[in-house]
Structure 1
Amino acid sequence: MAQDTAQQTSASPASPARALLPLILPALVVGVVASLLFLGVSALAEQLQDVLWQHLPDALGVGRYSVLWMIVVLTATGVLVGLVVWRAPGHAGPDPATLGLAAAPMPPAVLPGLLVATALMLAGGPSLGPENPIIATNVALAFWLGRRFAPRLPGGLWAALAEAATIGALFGTPVAAALLISEALAGQQLKGLLWDNLFGPLTAAAAGAMTTTLVAHPTFDLHLPALGRPGWSDLLAALVIASAAALFGMVAVCAFPYVHAAFSRLRHPMVALPVGGLVLGLLGALGGHLTLFKGLGEVAELARHPDGWSAGQFATMTVVKLAALLVAASCGFRGGRIFPSVFIGAAFGLFAHALVPAVQPALGVSAGVLGMLLAITRQGWVSLFTAAVLVASPAILALLCIASLPAWLLVTGRPQMQLREDGTPIR
């Protein structure tokens, strides 16, 4: 049987090099442009964030993260984003609750409003990341420009290149893109070998990742104390934390269509988004400023002092951040759900460490992030990759792979945190 399989594999037709070589230049261009657009929007949002959360409150003599200021800024962010969604051409894209990482090309006229709404969201503090709108923008640009200047290449190729390039840029490595694309291709009938199909997207992802690395020097490593030789207690902790985090994440997933329906009854974006912003401001006042924004910088702050908060404080931040993600994703803010889920999982893992000090912080964080991402994204490889890269400990990989199995059984086949246009959840 093994010999027959080997013969069939060796006989599988591979795309000739002359068919793959023409993909290199378009992939490199898409990768660099996708990364620069992501970096540009991020830089603009960071400058605006400094104005809103540092310069302006200092000039007014109010606390940067006082309760009043959090409520005012987040409500005002809802008003501004609502105005963009209401008046911009194309209403800043479709309802974000219906979108995942994969995106159909939008008309170019929609993109300015989408980018403005994304930058305002990132600066104002709602608990969403940039991934979904940036991917959608890059897909639309690549598709439109690619069909215009290289019409002989298939239209679907441009979307694949842009998605891979943006994921590579977001994570600073092409590995995440390769894993995500491999997972997407798993159920498809491929023409040629897997690496033939990955060649163009992986080139784009590498170009996007290298551009981000050279310009911004990103790192996901939280510099937590390294996990030593794992023991049986570590395996038990990983299994329990990952499964518990997955179940906790499923609470938000199951509530998602109901919360979305409640905001949909408000009908107008100039009502739904300001109300959502007000709720997020109240949640921020409850959970503190670390529960605002997309969460990556805040995760790093938690990791610098893993024993700096009590179990109750970690639990409060975990619950508040999950509620904030649920509200922000339901009321119409343009953004993705991966990065805030990382904060939720990390806070959940540190809660476990504070509750049971024998649980090492690196193990708690990685297992918590794994379970939360499995529940929120249903992307197995990306969940494993993100959980592992946060702690940069080779010893933890085997534990995470084992812990992912019961966590996956808890989430697979159940509703996802993405809705159809009629408001029903995708399974």
Structure 2
Amino acid sequence: MSLARTPDEGGASPQQLLVLAIPAILLGAFAALLLWALEQLADLLSGVLWTTLPGALGVDPSGWWIILILTLTGLAVGIGLRYLPGHGGPDSATTELISPPLKLRVLPGLAVVTVLSLAGGVSLGPENPIIAINVAIVVAVFARFIPKIPTQIAVLIASAATVGALFGTPVAAALLFTGIVATAKGGSLWDKLFLPVAAAGAGAVTMHLLGAPPLSFDIPAYGSPQAIDLLTGAVVACAAVGIALIALFLFPIFWRTLHALRHPILIPLVGGFLLGILGFIGGPITMFKGLTQIGDLLQDPGAYDAAQLAGIAGIKILALLVAASALFRGGRIFPATFIGVALGMLGHVLIPGLPLGLAVACGIVGVIVVIARDGWLAIFLGVAIPNDISLLPMLCIIVLPAWLLVSRMPAFQIVPPAVQTEPVAAKPADPPAGSVAG
């Protein structure tokens, strides 16, 4: 993953980094523009589905309309997966946040099914698909115009740019990619982070200039750390870990159950219907990727009692499991963050002495370490959502017992069954539902 090496440092020279920073910054801005365009298109379609149409028809968009639209969304996604070129790319349940580059012909179909999922209210975020789209484009651009740059560097730049745009700050990308590049041999760690951070910074600034909503929310400041808060905060974080681990063990069961239907149209159709039922029960606050809904939840925290918060978190967990298992394309970080906020608010209700900001941060940390398996990202989101840097020293300690609970657990990702090898003369088996043909 290294650039051209200098004799003394074993990494890239300052001149090389400076020259390569220019395309990295430009690609960071491009990644942010593509993310912005995708979300704008999804928001436009969402407005039609959830405001314009029900308003014109005189129906309540919070009633049976939820079941209808999510079922139709599942049908539309299934048709896209079956007939669009590339079949919408790999099943998001089987991929990590950063995966090998896709072929360019897959990208239009992936973009279409992602927009449909986001607009239809599916409980998945845009992170996995948009990173995959940007990675494929940047790798193709580098291969065409700067072929001497290794593919791994292009993947890092595109991924970091998109993460910076998604979270509105390059800090998230710096923390996330520190663990990725730290294992690479030779050269300074910051030499390896230089280009990804440049791309992430450009992506974050571009999203701010485009008026993207901030990741932070208005929560009372934490104030001075208290020793008891370490104990109660760790209890909330570890409880959130325990709940997320239940979801982790249920994930393959949901995936196998829905994939037993075998057909790439039937799977998201049934999944959409189930999401509609869950949305009907939990209301719009349990739908969509979860970022706007975090703001709705935190707008008046006192309006929710323990039972309501437990119900919201439980329904969102089920919605995430169904959406991730039913061939919908999308990421799990944003809905997981919403679940963490709801569980943190529940912890605050059950332990009134625990300040709300710290409780929310601990809930986020507990869920994210299970879903994303990254302590740095968990700490970052725990600080960013309450927008309170004074939480940082507390979370650096509270994350430790939470991490011990998950360190030996499997990743929140489906490993598809191994494909049996057939003799050359034998008739090839049909691909599994939702797989990428060709």
TM-score under structure 2 length normalisation: 0.92
The DSSP-based 3-state class of the residue aligned with 1:106 is coil
Aligned match for 1:294, one of 274, 289, 297:
289
**Identity score, percent:** 45
| CA–CA distance in structure 2, aligned partners of residues 230 and 65 of structure 1 | 42
Q: How does 1:185-334 map to 2 (within 5 A)?
A: 185-186=181-182, 188-334=183-329
* 1:413 is the counterpart of 2:386: no
Q: Which amino acid aligns with 2:389?
A: P
TM-score under structure 1 length normalisation: 0.94
**Structure that is richer in helix per residue:** 1
- In structure 2, do the counterparts of structure 1 residues 164 and 52 end up closer, same or farther at CA, with 3 Å as the change threshold? same
Aligned match for 1:30, one of 24, 27, 38:
27
Runs of 4+ residues over 4 Å off in structure 1: 11-14
Q: Which amino acid aligns with 1:40?
A: A
| CA–CA distance in structure 2, aligned partners of residues 400 and 296 of structure 1 | 21
- In structure 2, do the counterparts of structure 1 residues 217 and 272 end up closer, same or farther at CA, with 3 Å as the change threshold? closer
Moved more, 338-347 or 261-270: 261-270
Aligned match for 2:77, one of 68, 77, 81:
81
Q: How does 1:366-381 map to 2 (within 5 A)?
A: 366-381=361-376
- In structure 2, do the counterparts of structure 1 residues 112 and 14 end up closer, same or farther at CA, with 3 Å as the change threshold? closer
Q: 1:247·1:375 contact (CA, 8 Å) conserved in 2? A: no
Residue ranges of structure 2 left out of the alignment (5+ in a row): 1-7, 420-438
Q: 1:166-197 CA distances to partner (integer Å, 9 max, x unpaired)?
A: 000001111100111101123x2332100110
Equivalent in the alignment of 1:364: 359
Q: Which amino acid aligns with 1:142?
A: V
| CA–CA distance in structure 2, aligned partners of residues 173 and 318 of structure 1 | 27
The DSSP-based 3-state class of the residue aligned with 2:248 is helix
Q: 1:257·1:423 contact (CA, 8 Å) conserved in 2? A: no
Residue ranges of structure 1 left out of the alignment (5+ in a row): 1-10
Q: How does 1:144-223 map to 2 (within 5 A)?
A: 144-186=140-182, 188-223=183-218
Equivalent in the alignment of 2:430: none
Q: 1:254·1:415 contact (CA, 8 Å) conserved in 2? A: no
RMSD: 1.4
Q: 1:284-335 CA distances to partner (integer Å, 9 max, x unpaired)?
A: 1121210000001000111110111111000000000011101100111000
Equivalent in the alignment of 2:57: 60
Equivalent in the alignment of 1:102: 98
Q: 2:181·2:193 contact (CA, 8 Å) conserved in 1? A: no
Q: Which amino acid aligns with 2:124?
A: L
Q: 2:125·2:334 contact (CA, 8 Å) conserved in 1? A: yes
Equivalent in the alignment of 1:134: 130
Q: 1:11-56 CA distances to partner (integer Å, 9 max, x unpaired)?
A: 7545321221221122012111110000000000001111111111
- In structure 2, do the counterparts of structure 1 residues 423 and 274 end up closer, same or farther at CA, with 3 Å as the change threshold? farther
| CA–CA distance in structure 2, aligned partners of residues 14 and 147 of structure 1 | 21
1:359 shift after superposition? 2.2
